[in-house]
Amino acid sequence: MTDFSVTKAQFHLPEGVIYLDGNSLGPMPKTALNRAKHVMSDEWSELLIGAWNKADWFHLPRGVGKRIEPLIGAEAGTVMTGDTLSIKVFQAVSAALQLRPDRKIVVSDTGNFPTDLYMAKGLLSHMGPRYELRVVEPHQVEGVIDEDVAAVMLTHVDYRTGQMYDMARLTKKMHDAGAISIWDLAHSAGALPVNICDCGAEFAVGCTYKYLNGGPGAPAFIYVRPDLVEKVDPILAGWMGHADPFDFDLDYRPGAGIDRMRVGTPPIVQMSILEEALKIWETVNLRALRARSIELCEQFIEGIEARCPELKLISPRSADIRGSQVAFAFEDGFAVMQALAARGVIGDFRAPDVMRFGFTPLYIDAEDVAQAIEIVADVLRSKAYVEPEYQKRGAVT
Amino acid sequence: MTDFSVTKAQFHLPEGVIYLDGNSLGPMPKTALNRAKHVMSDEWSELLIGAWNKADWFHLPRGVGKRIEPLIGAEAGTVMTGDTLSIKVFQAVSAALQLRPDRKIVVSDTGNFPTDLYMAKGLLSHMGPRYELRVVEPHQVEGVIDEDVAAVMLTHVDYRTGQMYDMARLTKKMHDAGAISIWDLAHSAGALPVNICDCGAEFAVGCTYKYLNGGPGAPAFIYVRPDLVEKVDPILAGWMGHADPFDFDLDYRPGAGIDRMRVGTPPIVQMSILEEALKIWETVNLRALRARSIELCEQFIEGIEARCPELKLISPRSADIRGSQVAFAFEDGFAVMQALAARGVIGDFRAPDVMRFGFTPLYIDAEDVAQAIEIVADVLRSKAYVEPEYQKRGAVT
């Protein structure tokens, strides 16, 4: 069984803070700083340009991808890292449209993270007037998947409510209609077991700075089903995805397999930090992680509902359809979150009234949750949040 | 006058190395490590998600862009950093096509860096069969700029030969034909003064890990002429470029001005290192830099031609049309570069026979050049390079 006291000790967590916002930005793994120092002082400084070979920087994006594969149930050789999640969404949507050249509609939902919608729409609107991004309410998605739909792009776990789609069932539904599936795993990878391979999903993307603790702006990842990847003609045909980048051909020849999803020169310092963060997962059993995540979420929901009836749970009550976060609606939620932060309980707020708390088992335990419940209850009981300093908007995350 | 002994002292340069490959990857500024430590230990670790506001991570891409503006002669508010040069090329070509909706041809040349060609072609081939990337020899470029051409995309200084286009004259030629100009400044920014504003060029892009010393995979930059930027409907419509990213609108509304060229969440550690590297330029006069660059290049050319007649200069002999690098052709060039590296002189090789040496005045001086000439001459005279260990291919950079 995974020992979560061991994983907790692997993170730097500030004194007096209960960090329930690892679903937005994970904390720093203690080994990250030494790795960054090593990359900068021993590789960049000393090896200079030679580090691309001698320190094997060139293969780092794939090496990091390999570490993500088991976390999302992906086959070997299917995950590439780089760029940002926005860019990876763009790559996936473009590739999906190539696989269904006779179809012009991409379906998504209003619960999707905005950048996914923006990037898809940005692409479609530049491909011509016949292309359409059809955005419906989450409960309407199933009803609109038909044989005109090229691809369905959904975020597995809703970033606000934590509501989770049944990935296997939905993917089957998409396939029955001949549509391609694109899953955004930003709130899934590292939060719960994902089995992308068993679902048969064509594409998945995700970010690594949330539950994977890769640091602010850490590179994103993309999964392409292995039987399809060599059918993809990359729209972002960067030189690092070329079959032989250092031939400096005038013509692009896509690299073998997932290599073609590389674009430009990867951010080596940031990617090395991410690799360090991913090493923590070597000792983690994802079923144990999920069991503990559910325990923590249930503990929080029960505690808050018992003590703070003014907060309305907007996450699903059933753990079966909930990710690793819990959200409550409250009119003065913004001020409450500010007051909580002042007391060391850090969650975040999403307009108009969503108070969001992430439960990341690698470093949050039952004692943290018990304390957090006490503090939330106290802030609400004492109405500490009505202080003008807590009402002031301006915080953006 | 700029004191280049002061700037040289600001870099970490390994003992016994004469680094003539700063045109590929600049060395590490000494302050970079402390900045990375600060971002990781004091910001990420301690402020966690709050660092986006409290450490103003959110505005870092623009702050870094401001520091690049004077280096390329750009107006205030015109440069955004992020992503990779490949992505910035993609953004520029897409935007240029929007500004000339009736034209479908983009012109470039065989001297351009391959990723620029690949990215442009990747975009055009996904926009429909009527779009064309027309790639001609450098000397043919002027002859093919006509009123069917939407945009001309050129790298100001050729990455192999160091040959430099007359940016002002070529831009005028493009404008006379109604074409949009896109300049890649990868080998110009930090190498010599650029005056993008006076040229009236519409777009410029560049990378920051060469002459700007931002570190491996440092973020790229894009310039958009200020009167045009709000006409650009970004194809890469990422949430960070939204007018109000934290409104989480379902619809994209582009940010004001250059903000719309942001895409996804920026790599904060890497971007902070870049900012540190750019601070060095506060004390540098670009005319003095250029004068010294020319001196160093001339010294090297004269020394090598006098001592090593077997090497054939393929860079322009006239400094007026040469960047800050010098290239020689030699059949056994690969082995020579390996043998030179073993003696501490680091340049690089580009197939089939190009030996490339970069002269970066911030940290290379006349004494370095004199020593480098001695070592090149000795390696050639002694035929040290015929050793089997130097003939072995496999090195990629």
B146: closest CA among B112, B178, B118, B115? B178
CATH number of the domain at A4-29+285-391, please? 3.90.1150.10
pLDDT score of A358:
98
pLDDT score of A396:
41
Q: List the catalytic residue out of A113, A131, A165, A328.
A: A113
Helices (H), chain B: 4-8, 31-37, 45-47, 51-54, 60-68, 85-99, 114-127, 141-144, 167-176, 196-199, 268-279, 286-307, 333-342, 366-381, 388-391
Which of A45, A53, A394 has the CB atom closest to B396's CB atom? A53
Residues of B in contact with A115 (CB under 8 A): 238-240, 264
pLDDT score of A351:
86
* Secondary structure class of B120 (helix, strand, coil): helix
Alpha carbons A215 and A26: distance in angstroms, whole number = 7
pLDDT in tens, A83-127: 999 999 999 999 999 999 999 999 999 999 999 999 999 999 999
A96: closest CA among A155, A149, A43? A149
Tell me which chain B residue has its CA closest to the CA of residue A47. Answer: B14
Which of A21, A86, A396 has the CB atom closest to B53's CB atom? A396
For residue A326, the cross-strand partners are A357
As given in the structure block, the two tokens for residue A89 are 């969404």
Instruction: Using DSSP bridges, classify how beta strands B354-358 and B348-350 pair: parallel, antiparallel or unpaired.
Output: antiparallel
Q: List the catalytic residue out of A184, A259, A348, A368.
A: A184
Domain map of chain A by residue range?
4-29+285-391, 56-282
Q: How many CB pairs under 8 A join A and B?
A: 282
Angle between helices B114-127 and B85-99 (to 10 degrees): 50
* Secondary structure class of A214 (helix, strand, coil): coil
Sign (positive/negative) of CA torsion B369, B209, A32, B57? positive
Which of A45, A110, A239 has the CB atom closest to B118's CB atom? A239
Query: Which of B34, B47, B137, B239 should one mutate to test binding to chain A, selecting the residue with the greatest count of A CBs within 10 A?
Result: B239
In one-letter notation, the amino acid at residue A20 is L
Query: Annotated catalytic, A19?
Result: no
The three-state DSSP-derived secondary structure of B302-315 is HHHHHHCCCCEECC
* CA distance, residue B121 to nearest chain A CA (Å): 8
Active-site residues of B, by number, are 113, 184, 209-210, 356
Instruction: Using DSSP bridges, classify how beta strands A149-155 and A105-109 pair: parallel, antiparallel or unpaired.
Output: parallel
Whether CATH 3.30.70.100 fits A56-282: no
The distance from CA A185 to its chain's CA centroid, rounded to whole angstroms, is 5
DSSP calls for B225-268? -TTTGGG---SS--GGGBSSGGG--SS--BPSGGGGG--S---H
Cross-chain Cβ contact A52/B215 below 8 Å: no
Helices (H), A100-194: 114-127, 141-144, 167-176
As given in the structure block, the two tokens for residue A68 are 């993500």
A210: closest CA among A21, A7, A38, A17? A21
Alpha carbons A324 and A191: distance in angstroms, whole number = 6
In one-letter notation, the amino acid at residue A291 is A
Residues of A in contact with B37 (CB under 8 A): 33, 36-37
Query: Annotated catalytic, A211?
Result: no
Asked whether B195 and B166 are in contact (CB, 8 A), the reply is: no
Name the strand (E) or helix (H) holding B327: strand B325-329
Q: List the catalytic residue out of A349, A356, A357, A390.
A: A356
B153: closest CA among B72, B95, B207? B95
In one-letter notation, the amino acid at residue B252 is Y
Q: Tell me if the bond preceding A352 is cis, omega within 30° of 0.
A: yes
Token pair 């750009």 is at which residue? B74
Alpha carbons A339 and A82: distance in angstroms, whole number = 37
A67: closest CA among A183, A180, A206? A206
As given in the structure block, the two tokens for residue A8 are 């907790």
Flag residues of chain B having pLDDT under 70: 393-397
Whole-number Cα distances in Å, B125 to A234, A244, B82, B95, B118: 10, 21, 25, 16, 10
A267: closest CA among B90, B188, B85, B39? B85
Predicted-complex ipTM score: 0.97
Alpha carbons B31 and B39: distance in angstroms, whole number = 13
Name the strand (E) or helix (H) holding B392: none
In one-letter notation, the amino acid at residue A137 is E
* CA distance, residue B175 to nearest chain A CA (Å): 25
Tell me which chain B residue has its CA closest to the CA of residue A210. Answer: B49
pLDDT score of A311:
98
Instruction: Enumerate residues 6+ apart whose C-beta is below 8 A from A239.
Output: A245, A264, B86, B113, B114, B115, B118
User: Around Cβ B293, how many Cβ atoms within 10 Å?
Assistant: 24
A348: closest CA among A35, A34, A21, A63? A21
Query: Annotated catalytic, A210?
Result: yes
Q: Which CATH architecture has domain B4-28+285-391?
A: Alpha-Beta Complex (3.90)
Angle between helices A366-381 and A286-307 (to 10 degrees): 20
Cross-chain Cβ contact B351/A217 below 8 Å: no
User: Around Cβ A283, how many Cβ atoms within 10 Å?
Assistant: 11
Asked whether A350 and A22 are in contact (CB, 8 A), the reply is: no
Q: Is B338 left (phi over 0), alpha (psi -120 to 50) or beta?
A: alpha
Q: For chain A, what percent of residues have pLDDT higher than 90?
A: 94
pTM summary value: 0.97
Cross-chain Cβ contact B396/A246 below 8 Å: yes
Flag residues of chain A having pLDDT under 50: 395-397
Instruction: Using DSSP bridges, classify how beta strands B28-29 and A354-358 pair: parallel, antiparallel or unpaired.
Output: unpaired
Tell me which chain B residue has its CA closest to the CA of residue A13. Answer: B45
As given in the structure block, the two tokens for residue A281 are 């997962």
The distance from CA B314 to its chain's CA centroid, rounded to whole angstroms, is 20
Tell me which chain A residue has its CA closest to the CA of residue B262. Answer: A86
* Secondary structure class of A158 (helix, strand, coil): coil
Alpha carbons A340 and B352: distance in angstroms, whole number = 63
pLDDT score of A1:
74
Alpha carbons A245 and A62: distance in angstroms, whole number = 15
Q: What are phi and psi of A266, to 5 degrees?
A: -75, 150
Instruction: Enumerate residues 6+ apart whose C-beta is below 8 A from A191.
Output: A23, A157, A210, A211, A293, A323, A324, A325, A360
